[in-house]
Structure 1
Amino acid sequence: MSNVRPDSSTRSEPLDALRGLAISLVIARHYFGFKYGMLGVDLFFVLSGFLIGGILLDSRQQPGYFASFYGRRAFRILPLYWLLLALVPPDHRGYYLFFAQIVPWLQFGFPVSDLTFVTWTLAIEEQFYLVLPILIFFLPRQWLIRVLWGAVLLAPVWRWLFHAYLPDQSWQFLLPGRLDELFGGVLLACSARGYCGSVIAWAVLACVPPLCDVGYAATVKPFAFLSVTAFACCIIVWLGVNIERPELLRPFIWPGRRCYSLYLFHMVVL
């Protein structure tokens, strides 16, 4: 993927189309009961890692690195997010304001029928935004790659621990259990910028978490194959940015450019 390096200052139609595919899957799940619709969320996480990681890697030497990044994220995310909280005020709203809704959820249960429950993905994203800029700014390239791969390889372990010791479906809604998707996307961005020293080594490492999930499910208990999903979504993103016939993705560009508002409010409309 070293030949593909999307310019973070311009829009990419293939990536917009992948966003459109992701939001279409989520809406199909909620509106029509499409069984595999939640794969859209997994695709969103990988895309987020790829795009945000690319933006941060390209701007790490620029002045105002942190201020520019957090200013842009706040301007894009907070207005619509606050509008949703104003229209359908949730219980424990104070936690939502700081993207810490997981705290009351772990204590009182997950409000899956609540119109604001979709914000669980935003909470994970915001926590990801707090961690990744620091890693990219302070770590040299070699150590950055090691930390990213370490997080990807440990993600299945976190999910198993959350599944064993925390209530309900906690493993789905906590940042450590989604790092193979988010940091997998960042590793794709690193590869696009020539950070991949050995394609074979990276390919072998990428196969480890899916094999761990399969082995755990086969020998211990049935469990979700999120690492398999993360691996598949990374392939989809790689294919999307390398596609030679982008017109095949064009029907998804319109929803892709409006995916954030569609995601936040599609349950309110329903």
Structure 2
Amino acid sequence: MRINIYQIDAFTDQLFGGNPAAVCPLIDWLDDEILQNIAIENNLAETAFFVQSSDNRFHLRWFTPEFEMDLCGHATLASAFVIIEELGNNYDKVLFDTQSGLLTVKKIGDYYELDFPSRPPKKSSLPKIISDGLNIQPKEIWKARDYLLVYDSENDIEDIKPNIAILNQINIDPGGIIVTAKGKFGNVDFVSRLFTPQATVFEDPVTGSAHCTLVPFWANRLNKNELRALQISKRGGELLCQLNKNRVLIKGKAIKYLEGTIEL
């Protein structure tokens, strides 16, 4: 059996930027063990698999090398990119049935706009092991799926050096630890980084799902619903975001890095 595979850099228009995701179009679903083993073999933060159910509607699933995820932004963007750009479908919108409900991706010029559920955080407290694993302590602690740690400045976010050995002793799957602050330049509303303890990729380059929490938080804090975000990982990525009631709209670009086949 041969399965087509694409590797897409999402939330960027530059190769080696943004967040890489593998995408595998399927005719029918394979056993979960096979899907998980493909994700392990790919050794990327996410591998997306989809099966077409009707004209522009697909069943979509996401796997890390460790487990199946309930929501992934960059691999959803990458999947829509493959469906439209690589499989030759002239859709202006793609519908995905997922564990997180119906997700839509619109093609708007060179951008792909994700329509995701909003996950506003609630005030929380910080487990000691997370505090011990961070060289700079946050000013505020919030939590939805992920911990959301708020800092005074973008410089703080840049200067955080997580102690991976300590943080890998905790288990927060399938969530992680978001660190965030206001942007220091006027063209960026907020910046962030995301750490995922015990995951193959400890610091995620650009995380669409994290912005389901970041956007409602910063929309309320800054009193504005349209936000420009920057995830300041080594690869980096830009996201154009909007809070629309209980939904978060996230726009980004994508570019193909690799195309090939898997032999099973």
Whether these two folds match at TM > 0.5 is no
- Greater strand fraction, Structure 1 or Structure 2: 2
Quick one: higher RCO (CA 8 Å, sep 6+), 1 or 2?
Answer: 1
TM-score (norm 1): 0.28
Q: Which has the higher helix share?
A: 1
Q: Give the TM-score normalised by the residue count of structure 2.
A: 0.28
